[in-house]
């Protein structure tokens, strides 16, 4: 999926002398034919973006992300895996690699969003790519029940209908979720696994591949900045940090007791450790507050119940996407045009086999 | 008798006041909208970053607050009232952004005029406590901090109740006035111990119902509308360099507490 430039140095003689054993992998901007063609033809992305916008959003921004990513990888001399998804999985819960994670997932999200859409060939569509003004904020929302570019595959329609009620309800939810993102972010249509990952692990002992997951439900979710959809592996960090702190306290306490028991041999000062212990303990005690929930509770509450989520469709709701062609008042128009550009064939390809539960278990 | 009724009617009319949020006028706004801000914005760039964006924010703020308890409040009051309310965050967004953007544009001026102003000695003395001893150091700090956002954000130089100064990063629509809505952390990706401690500290402050008396004295806008027109999607660094040279320090100096 990602083109890879792999420069293997001619090892051998130099190896022993220079200790030069580096295989440098650098990422390049992925090829998306629809966009690459526009660069040559200088045409617009029909029904959605001008040529200038495509150039800035994909070639310049994408190029910059790739460049920054490669620089970071080189600086930290990290041998990156060939697959960008693997790089994200490797970095998403490591605080010291957060800058790499950020660039990698930004690139992934950008590519995923552009691969979810195709130009809208409707000759009238181009007229709707225009700068909006303040009055467009006051427009009454449409109450239509059917819209252009609805999915046509009967199974997909059935799945969407049973998950959201109807296609138009799904469309409203998708676009309103996008509208509610004020900073940078994406809206995703995801397939949600029927059982949580921990349940699966318990039952199938480590068999953790895609085939094992049964996807029963579709859902709409938002991610912000460089957030990724499948967050379940990342979550639990806060709880882990708390456990680390508790372990620290326990080991300090043990140390003090050991010193005290050996104090008979000589005057060993335990003051320093006791000071550290009391500050750590006061921190820990603070977390047992009944009026305001703890961080761990907050984390547990926002988890997607550690269920595997598979992204099917992404919509980029960040301001930069519409500012160039639609102006500051044009988000709604941009989103409506974006709906008309959704490539349902791609969504269908990404969709897993639907799993129908015969009864609800959890 | 008729007169009395008319009086009552007038009283009713007067008490049923409504307020509409308008784009505040800036000093030199006429020149700015005709020529842009020299050294920073073209007229089109200024229009998007100020006239249009502020219009967007204030119109939305009016729509959000119409018929609510916030109807008669100023943007600043609204942001304070809504900061803690989880269901009022759309309103908070528009209030906080309108306030921050106004704060930002008040301190901008043409490069030729801005270059005649300097941070006051008093301000530099306060900054020296933060290991910022020269203009170059201040510039470096300001530019690195404001260019480090993954997404949108604001960088503030704030004055704390003990009159010391500090840099405050606010992601997205964060506000410097209330610690619970500073939004200084981005919790995507790995979470380190410092962020965890910071979160606990915020939790503790909120549990103790601590008040926040922080005041911003300098605001830097790192949102897309502030630079996309003149500098492009990837032009934030260049834009921030230019912002530095267009800060009218006289305005900033006056915001600092003085005896």
Verify that A218 and A162 share a domain, yes or no: yes
Q: Chain B partners of A180 at a C-beta cutoff of 8 Å?
A: 90
Q: Is residue B168 part of a domain?
A: yes
Q: What are the DSSP calls for B153-220, one per residue? A: EEEEEEE-TTS-EEEEEEETT--TT-GGG------SS---HHHHHHHHHHHHHHHTT-----EEEEEE
Assess whether A50 and A148 both reside in one domain. no
Q: Where is pLDDT greater, at A174 or B18? A: A174
- Round the average pLDDT of chain A to a whole number and report it: 82
Q: What percent of chain A has pLDDT over 90?
A: 52
Whether residue A64 is contained in a domain is answered as yes
The residue to which tokens 């059982």 are assigned: A195
**Chain B nearest C-alpha distance from A227 (Å):** 5
Residue B237 near chain A (CB below 8 Å): no
- Give the pLDDT confidence of A34-73 residue by residue, as tens digits: 999 999 999 999 999 999 999 999 999 999 999 999 999 9
Q: Do A95 and B152 touch (CB under 8 A)?
A: no
ipTM: 0.90
- Domain-located, residue B3: no
Instruction: Reply yes or no on whether the pLDDT at A202 is more than 80.
Output: no
Domain residues for the domain of A22 are: 4-115
- Residue A321 CA to residue A341 CA, distance in Å, equals 14
pLDDT > 90 fraction of chain B, expressed in percent and rounded: 83
Is residue A151 located within the same domain as residue A59? no
- Which of A115, A150, A166 terminates a domain? The answer is A115
Q: Which of A115, A139, A171 is the last residue of a domain?
A: A115
User: Number of Cβ pairs closer than 8 Å across A and B?
Assistant: 133
For residues A109 and A139, membership in a common domain is answered with no
List own/partner pairs for B53-56 with CB under 8 A and 24 or more apart.
B53/A328, B53/B101, B53/B225, B53/B226, B54/B23, B54/B24, B54/B98, B54/B101, B54/B102, B54/B105, B55/A134, B55/B23, B56/A134, B56/A137, B56/A328, B56/A329
Q: How confident is the model at residue B172 (pLDDT cuts 50, 70, 90)?
A: very high
Query: Does residue A33 share a domain with residue A69?
Result: yes
Backbone phi and psi for residue A150, each to the nearest 5 degrees, phi listed first:
-85, 155
Q: What values do phi and psi take at A254, rounded to 5?
A: -60, -45
Q: Does residue B161 belong to the interface with chain A, where contact is any CB pair within 8 Å?
A: no
* A355 inside domain: no
Nearest to A292 among B172, B206, B229 (CB): B206
Closest Cβ opposite residue B225 in set A106, A287, A319: A319
Same domain? For A147 and A68 the reply is no
Beta-carbon-side half-sphere exposure of residue A154 (alpha carbons within 13 Å): 0
Q: Which of A92, A115, A138 is the last residue of a domain?
A: A115
pLDDT single digits (tens) B74-112: 999 999 999 999 899 999 999 999 999 999 999 999 999
Q: Under a CB-based contact definition with an 8 Å cutoff, are residues A60 and B238 in contact? A: no
Q: What is the CATH number of the domain that holds B195?
A: 3.55.40.20
Is A95 within 8 Å of B190 when comparing Cβ atoms? Answer: yes
| Beta carbons of A78 and A91 less than 8 angstroms apart | no
> What's the domain count of chain B?
1
Give DSSP secondary structure letters for A62-83: HHHHHHHHHHHHHHTT----SS
Q: Can you give the residue range of the structural domain that contains B82? A: 26-255
pLDDT band at B221 (very low <50, low <70, confident <90, very high): very high
The verdict on residue A268 lying in a domain is no
pLDDT of A3? 38
Among the ranges given (A278-282, A335-339, B210-214), the one the predictor scored with the smallest mean pLDDT: A278-282
pLDDT at B51 > cutoff 90: yes
Report if residue B21 sits inside a domain. Answer: no
Residue A250 in domain: no
Q: Residue A268: its pLDDT value, please?
A: 52
Pair (A137, A19) in one structural domain: no
Q: Give the pLDDT of residue A18.
A: 36
Is A24 a member of any domain? yes
Same domain, A327 and A205: yes
Q: If you search the block for the tokens 């130089």, which residue do you land on?
A: B157
Check residues A198 and B29 and name the one with the higher pLDDT. Answer: B29
Give the lowest-confidence range in A252-256, A340-344, B146-150.
A252-256
**A98 and A177 both lie in a single domain:** no
Q: Is residue A221 part of a domain?
A: yes
Q: Residues A169-192: what's their mean pLDDT?
A: 95
Residues sharing a CB contact under 8 Å with residue B188, sequence separation 6 or more, in sequence order: A101, A102, A105, A223, A224, A225, A226, A227, A228, B150
- If asked whether residues A35 and A144 sit together in one domain, one would say no
Transcribe A225-260 into DSSP letters.
TT--S--TTTTTHHHHHHHHHHHHHHHHHHHHHHHH
The residue with tokens 């106004």 is B102
Helices (H) then strands (E): counts for chain B: 13, 3
Mean pLDDT of the region B184-202: 89
Domain total of chain A: 2
Burial letters for B132-150: b for 16+ Cβ neighbours within 10 Å, e otherwise? beeeeebeebbbebbeebb
Distance from CA of A17 to the nearest CA of B (A): 38
Whether pLDDT at B42 is above 70: yes
Instruction: With beta carbons under 8 A apart, name residues in chain A contacting B20.
Output: none
Q: What is the mean pLDDT of residues A262-281?
A: 64
pLDDT at A138 over 50: yes
Contact B106, B221 (CB under 8 A): no
| A345 within some domain | yes
d(CA A11, CA A15): 6
A136 and A110 housed in the same domain: no
- Return the pLDDT at A240: 80
Provide the shortest C-alpha distance from residue A353 to chain B (in Å). Answer: 30
- Residue B191 is nearest to which of A95, A184, A329, comparing CB atoms? A95
With beta carbons less than 8 A apart as the criterion, state whether A68 and A106 touch: no
Sort out which chain B residues have CB atoms less than 8 A from A64's CB and list them: 234
């Amino acid at each position: 999926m990602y083109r890879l430039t792999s420069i293997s140095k001619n090892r051998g003689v130099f190896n022993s002398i220079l200790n030069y054993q580096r295989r440098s992998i650098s990422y390049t901007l992925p090829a998306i034919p629809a966009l690459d063609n526009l660069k040559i033809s200088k045409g617009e992305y029909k029904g959605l973006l001008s040529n200038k916008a495509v150039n800035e959003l994909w070639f310049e921004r994408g190029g910059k992300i790739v460049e920054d990513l490669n620089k970071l990888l080189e600086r930290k001399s990290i041998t990156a895996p060939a697959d960008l998804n693997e790089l994200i999985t490797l970095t998403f819960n490591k605080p010291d690699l957060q800058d790499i994670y950020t660039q990698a997932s930004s690139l992934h999200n950008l590519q995923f969003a552009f691969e979810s859409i195709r130009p809208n060939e409707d000759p009238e569509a181009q007229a709707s790519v225009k700068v909006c003004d303040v009055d467009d904020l006051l427009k009454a929302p449409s109450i239509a029940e059917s819209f252009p570019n609805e999915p046509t595959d009967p199974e997909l329609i059935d799945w969407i209908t049973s998950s959201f009620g109807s296609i138009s309800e799904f469309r409203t939810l998708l676009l309103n979720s996008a509208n509610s993102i004020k900073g940078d972010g994406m809206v995703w249509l995801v397939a949600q696994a029927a059982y949580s990952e921990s349940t699966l692990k318990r039952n199938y002992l480590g068999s953790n591949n895609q085939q094992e997951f049964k996807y029963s439900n579709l859902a709409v979710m938002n991610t912000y900045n460089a957030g990724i959809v499948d967050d379940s592996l990342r979550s639990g960090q806060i709880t882990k940090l708390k456990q680390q702190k508790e372990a620290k306290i326990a080991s300090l306490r043990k140390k003090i007791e050991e010193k005290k028991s050996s104090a008979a041999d000589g005057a060993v000062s335990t003051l320093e450790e006791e000071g550290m212990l009391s500050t750590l303990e006061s921190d820990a005690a603070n977390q047992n507050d009944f009026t305001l929930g703890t961080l761990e509770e907050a984390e547990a509450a926002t988890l997607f119940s550690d269920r595997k989520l598979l992204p099917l469709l992404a919509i980029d709701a960040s301001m930069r996407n519409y500012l160039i062609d639609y102006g500051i008042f044009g988000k709604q128009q941009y989103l409506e045009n974006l709906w008309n550009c959704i490539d349902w064939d791609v969504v269908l390809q990404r969709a897993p086999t639907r799993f129908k539960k015969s009864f609800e278990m959890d | 008798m008729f007169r009395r009724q008319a009086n009552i009617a007038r009283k009713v009319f007067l008490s049923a006041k409504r307020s509409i949020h308008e784009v505040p006028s800036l000093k030199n706004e006429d020149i700015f909208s005709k020529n842009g801000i020299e050294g920073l914005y073209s007229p089109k760039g200024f229009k998007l970053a100020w006239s249009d964006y502020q219009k967007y924010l204030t119109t939305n703020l009016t729509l959000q607050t119409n018929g609510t308890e916030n109807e008669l409040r100023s943007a600043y009051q609204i942001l304070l009232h809504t900061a803690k309310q989880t269901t009022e965050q759309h309103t908070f967004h528009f209030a906080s952004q309108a306030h921050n953007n106004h704060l930002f544009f008040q301190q901008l001026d043409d490069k030729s005029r801005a270059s005649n102003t300097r941070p006051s000695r008093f301000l530099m003395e306060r900054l020296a406590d933060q290991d910022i001893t020269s203009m170059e150091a201040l510039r470096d700090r300001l530019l690195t901090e404001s260019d480090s956002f993954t997404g949108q954000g604001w960088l503030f130089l704030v004055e704390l109740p003990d009159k010391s100064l500090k840099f405050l990063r606010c992601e997205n629509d964060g506000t410097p006035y209330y610690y619970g809505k500073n939004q200084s952390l981005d919790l995507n990706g790995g979470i380190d111990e410092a962020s965890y401690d910071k979160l606990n500290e915020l939790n503790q402050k909120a549990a103790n119902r601590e008040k926040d008396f922080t005041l911003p004295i300098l605001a830097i806008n790192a949102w897309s509308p502030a630079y996309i027109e003149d500098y492009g999607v990837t032009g934030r660094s260049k834009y921030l360099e230019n912002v530095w040279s267009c800060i009218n320090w006289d305005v900033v100096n006056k915001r600092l507490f003085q005896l």
